[in-house]
Homo-oligomer: A and B are copies of this chain.
Amino acid sequence: MKTTEKKITSGLAPQEVAAELAPLVDFQPAGLPLDELQQLFRERLVPHFVDYGHPGFHSLYNFFLEPGADLGATLAQVHNQGVTNWQVSPGGVMLEELCCQALCRLFGLGPKAEGTFMFSGTYANQQAIYLALHRRAEQCGFDFAVEGLNGFDDPRRLALVASEEAHFSLRQTLRMMGLGETCLHTVRADARRRMDSRALARKLAELRESHDIFCVVATAGTSSIGSIDPLDDVLEQCRDLATWVHLDGAYGLIYSLLEEKQDLFPGIGHFDSIIWDPHKQFGVPIPSSLIFLKDGADFQRMAIYSDYFNRKQEREPNPGLKSPPSTRPLSALPLVAALRHQGLDGIKARLRAPLSVVARAVDYVTDHGELELMLPPDLGIFCVRVQPAGLAPEVLNDLQQYLYQRVIREGRRSVSLTVIEDRAALRFLILSPATRLADIIDTFDYLLEIARDFNYPGKK
């Protein structure tokens, strides 16, 4: 069990970590020299960080810093450049604009496409839904920015359609936007947790009469298990609805660059909006998110002007008019640096490595009598149910829960727990190109070993 020798994190309990950190936030009148401060952080804080580069880290979208990204991030940090408007940083503003244009070309998003950096996928999704509502209001003859939901004849008719597997931030967005979760109409996912095309057709037919479907959301790489909705079916079914079609590609969009995955990404240039989180695979500082619009002119729906800032008559590029925040960091720089340092061939190799390891891990699980694969993966996430020989089916959910808790407490591995159709499972997310099949097998062995300690009623 080589990879368990070094811990991923200290594994201390919250009150123990709190005791360690208390001196750090004891704000005193006198200052501390940098070397003392450095030592304090090194001794008391860093041991309780999580090592995302550890070969046993298989759980979350966090990633260790990549050398190119590090160079770009350091430069951005040293100069602390904002990119809200031309006056704040001509170089920063122009780099963001050019980077977004280059990314639109890279993803093949069409001649009118534009993008901008967002603070997180959640806010990027929020913005997409806002744009959808704003356009629908315009079709209804009023300015959503002025009248809001009250401008609609009957706001209760507004409906947003998404798969039941869509990210929970969609619910958060509907809450924040005053639509409420009742506005969300979910479509059943199929056995592979992709949106079911026939269920979508039924849902749209059903809602068409009673509701105003202003937005349909597809997902390319669900956060939970990485499934990709049938994008061409979604686009095709929305064609005559005059609805905004949004693609949540936070995790999955980048895989459209791989030739062998392109049949999973048909027609992405036809989505009205797409979001993507480069921090998930590029080793750039978190957070790094983008929104792309098929028609860049739609960004004008976000613009807001003031007398002392973002003046209307200014002609210079102004990314600050494309999204709500009036303070924006230079997130383009670490991404540009990562892309240039690795090169597109390097990027593709780094994306392929974990997918290939996942494919081999899936074969291993399939052949293993005490591990059950929950479903075949579309990308780099797979879910496994540990089922040691002789264990009754009714205690298996509790077993997965036990394994998860113990893994977290011991700090030697990191996996997630999830529930698929009422069946608990351990979730493996492989992002790092350095992860080997042997590392994953080590984790399986470790899980099977600690499973022996699981106590349940009737255990002999």
Contacts and interface: CB of A to CB of B under 8 A. Distances in A.
A74 interface: yes
A383 to B, nearest CB: 9
Interface in A66-100: 67-68, 70-75, 77-82, 86-92, 94-95, 97-99
Interface string A123-138: 1001000100100000
Nearest to A429: B308
B309 A416 contact: yes
Interface in A294-340: 304-309, 311, 316-317, 324-329, 333, 336-337, 339-340
Given A21-B98, A178-B178, A287-B329, A63 B80 contact: yes
A366 interface: no
> Copy number in this complex?
2
Given A74-B77, A91-B48, A94-B21, A176 B324 contact: yes
Contacts of A140: none
Contacts of A91: 9-10, 17, 21, 45-49
A341 to B, nearest CB: 5
A169 B21 CA distance: 35
A38 B122 contact: no
Contacts of A173: 324
A183 interface: yes
A120 B324 CA distance: 9
B46 A75 contact: yes
Contacts of A92: 48-49
30 contacts: A10-B91, A18-B98, A27-B339, A28-B344, A29-B345, A32-B340, A34-B67, A37-B71, A41-B72, A45-B75, A45-B333, A48-B89, A48-B91, A50-B90, A59-B87, A65-B80, A119-B120, A120-B324, A123-B324, A126-B324, A147-B182, A148-B181, A149-B155, A150-B156, A150-B180, A168-B305, A178-B178, A286-B329, A308-B416, A308-B419
Interface of A: 9-10, 12, 14, 17-18, 21-22, 24-34, 37-38, 40-41, 45-50, 52, 59-65, 67-68, 70-75, 77-82, 86-92, 94-95, 97-99, 101-102, 106, 119-123, 126, 130, 133, 144-151, 155-156, 167-169, 171-183, 223-224, 277, 279, 283, 285-287, 289, 304-309, 311, 316-317, 324-329, 333, 336-337, 339-346, 408, 414, 416-419, 427
